[in-house]
Amino acid sequence: MFMKPEVWNTEMWVVEGHCGAEMFPCEYFSATDAIDHSSCDPHDVSVEKKAGWFVRLSAQGYTDCTDWQGPYDEEREALNELADSFDLCQDCFEPCEDCTCREVDHD
C-alpha cells in the first residue's frame, strides 16, 4: 500500500469551525499557528488542546497524507478506526478487497 498508518501519542490543537475539526501537533504549532493554518475562518473557530492517540495515513517521503483522526484512548483503537474509515484490513492496512493476509471476510 502506498499510504501507511502514522500513529502518534501526543497533544494536538483541535481547531473547530464551520469547516469541521482540524488537528495540529502541539510540538510544531502554537494555538495561534494552528488557527492561522486552519482552513476555517479564524474569527469563527474554537481551539482546544487534546491529548491521546492520533492517526492518519501518510505517504512516506511525500507530502501526501490524510487528516488526523483522534484523540483515542488506545493505539489499537486509533488504528482500528483508521482502518474502518478507509475500508482497510485491520491487520495489514491494505484495501479490504486486495487483502490476502486473512482468510476471513472483512465485512
37-80 pLDDT per residue, tens: 999 998 999 999 999 999 999 988 777 899 999 999 999 999 99
- What pTM did the predictor assign? 0.84
DSSP for 66-97, written as a single string: PPPEEEESSHHHHHHHHHHHTTB-TTT-SBGG
Boundaries of every domain in the chain: 4-98
pLDDT higher for 82 or 62?
A: 82
pLDDT higher for 104 or 92?
A: 92
State how far the Cα of 58 lies from the Cα of 68, in Å rounded to an integer: 10
Which residues have C-beta within 8 Å of that of residue 17, sequence separation ≥ 6?
A: 38, 40, 41, 44, 45, 46
Which residues have C-beta within 8 Å of that of residue 49, sequence separation ≥ 6?
A: 11, 12, 13, 14, 26, 31
